[in-house]
Amino acid sequence: MKSPDDHLHIVYSSSLHTNVKIKIGPLKGTHPVPEFDQILANPMIKFTGLYEVSMNARASADLLVESQLYSGGRPLALSVSTSLRVSNSSTHRFEWFDLPLNFSDLPRDAMLAITLYDCMGPRALKPVGGTTISLFSKHGVFRQGMMDLRVWSDCVADGNTQTTTPGKGSGPDNDTSFDKASTSRKVDLTNKMQKTKLNKLTKKHREGNLPQVDWLDRLAFCKIEQLKEAEKKKSNHLYLTVEFPEVSDNGIIYSVVFYEQDGDELYQFKDHPDIVLLPDPELQQENLVESKHHNLTRSLHRGVCDKDLKPNSLIRDKLNAIIASPPTKQLTTEQQDLIWKYRFYLSTQKQTLAKFLHCVNWDLAGEARQAVDMLQQWVPMEVEDSLQFLSSTFTHPAVRRYAISRLQQASDDDLLLYLLQLVQALKYEDFYDINEVYERMQTKECSTPDTDHKELPRPSTSRCPDSKNKSILEVEKDENKNLATFLIHRACNNPTLANYFYWYLITECEDQEVTVEMDTKVREMYLTVMRIFQETLQKGCAEWQKQQQILQRQVSLVDELVKLVKSVQRENCNRKKKI
């Protein structure tokens, strides 16, 4: 005799990362025999498995069992199918099969829906019946042991929460229990209470909460099975035996309790949000009111009135705050209108030109024309401040020519400081203008090969920079003056600039690594600038040709060094021998 175990051994479902297994046992009970008129209407009924079993005591039939897991009326995974041998004998063995979910993946309201199908001919199945059972009890404990579930005839198992095919509570075994409410007969209240009490005692014995006496237990369970079989025979329903797995370790059976990892954490949310989002189909479209206001404030007629405007102290503070803001800060519409309104007043301050150009909508021809006129009236800005006009933000030719005109005032030493940035800014130039310069050079070379090229100004042998007395307006009127021609002109007049400019171009022209993606058009542009630079040096004066030869010798030296390094790498010797 074993003493009862007073301890409750549990394990959380979130800790079990194994598949859920079930065993579909025998199908018992009475299946309604089809009427004679039904057989005449559908002769295939005579060849179904259950019909042969009901007509022949020695016959057996193979049914298709389809198992599906549901939660909230929705399937959790694909269905699993297996076969079930039905006969009047009890010698068949039934095997466990896996469901496509782990214990840790099961929700609290997981339900198992089982449907039995019989063959009704070629590629035709008829539902014998279905039953549904929840995997967790009302206390959140995973079901264990064998259960007899009622099979609702001629229907598919219903996986909804309020199921129409409940297997528990309507069969002879309610959690290994008898039928509590049979529709075919009336059971008095005394018998139902005795059966309920017997079921609870059976469950306690299985969990080890009752003393175990082997000889007495065998007699008791044998009698219980006889009572169950008698109840099944008296009933007019089918009952399917389903066995749920037991989780044990070292002979100790554990109850699987539902637990969700981090499921006890509380999250606050508002039933009524403070902001109500409504769909706006015109959100991404042009605002006609703002466009009309913009056109009125930037119209040409406003220029006559704006010339004499002077800001008061309050507006002057606002303008100073806007000018002092970082160049990367996006200005609001009101701030842009304020700068445009007082543009004539701000034209006497050289540090305000960048803010003004940021306020211009260059897509509007009238506004762009006024901005170009103001650009000529503005106080010349510092050379280093004009570099921002060569970025991708400003694509208007007049703005870029103004930046180049300011770079004309820089010395070669200052230009060398930001030469790399200027070479990088070539990718924002108009590629068509650069190609046009190269094509004109090629055309002149073919027509008059001995004629000196006039695309780029070529001074005498002395390396004197352009005169600083040349006005800004004259530089802007030079249509052929772009960033590429400016850099080539300055590089030809200074060997140091030429050397750095040449190798910066070589870096951009050479094949990039796989990890560095470069636009093909950009690379072709750099190659074109390189050809213009080389041909300008080659067709220039003696000093320019000498500089071209020096650059070629540098390239040859680098190639020889690369070959030497590769040959040393191929040598299989130590470091000392390589040195």
SS3 per-residue string spanning 513-529: CCCCCCCHHHHHHHHHH
Q: Which residue has the tokens 């171009």?
A: 505
Q: How much is the pLDDT for 174? A: 46
Q: Which residues pair with 148 in a beta bridge?
A: 241
Asked whether residue 295 is domain-assigned, the answer is: no
Which amino acid is residue 384, in one-letter code? E
Split the chain (579 residues) into runs of 10 and give each run's mean pLDDT: 68 91 83 70 70 59 88 92 74 77 92 89 82 92 88 90 82 43 46 66 72 79 74 74 88 87 75 76 81 78 73 90 88 88 89 90 87 90 89 89 90 90 90 84 66 43 38 37 88 90 87 59 88 86 85 87 83 70
CATH number of the domain that residue 181 is part of: 2.60.40.150
* Rounded CA separation 70/73 (Å): 6
CA distances from 337 to 187, 341, 439 (A): 91, 6, 44
Length of the chain: 579
Q: Which residues pair with 118 in a beta bridge?
A: 126
Q: Which residues pair with 126 in a beta bridge?
A: 118
Asked whether residue 86 is domain-assigned, the answer is: yes
Instruction: Count structural domains, the chain.
Output: 1
Residue 96 belongs to what domain range?
10-189+230-257
DSSP label at 141? B
CA angle at 359 for the pair 340 and 470, rounded to the nearest 5°:
85
* Rounded CA separation 353/367 (Å): 16
Asked whether residue 236 is domain-assigned, the answer is: yes
Asked whether residue 487 is domain-assigned, the answer is: no
Asked whether residue 77 is domain-assigned, the answer is: yes
Let me know: does 488 contact 504? Beta carbons within 8 Å.
no
CA angle at 407 for the pair 403 and 413, rounded to the nearest 5°:
150
pTM above 0.75, yes or no: no
Asked whether residue 146 is domain-assigned, the answer is: yes
Asked whether residue 404 is domain-assigned, the answer is: no
| 303-320 as b/e: b if 16+ CB within 10 A | eeeeeeeebeeeeeeebe
Phi, psi of 187 (to 5 degrees): -110, 130
* Rounded CA separation 142/138 (Å): 10
Q: What's the helix, strand, coil split of the chain in %, to 5?
A: 45, 15, 40
Asked whether residue 42 is domain-assigned, the answer is: yes
DSSP label at 136? B
Phi, psi of 100 (to 5 degrees): -80, 40
The CB-side HSE value for 346 (13 A sphere, CA atoms) comes to 23
Let me know: does 394 contact 429? Beta carbons within 8 Å.
no
DSSP label at 391? S
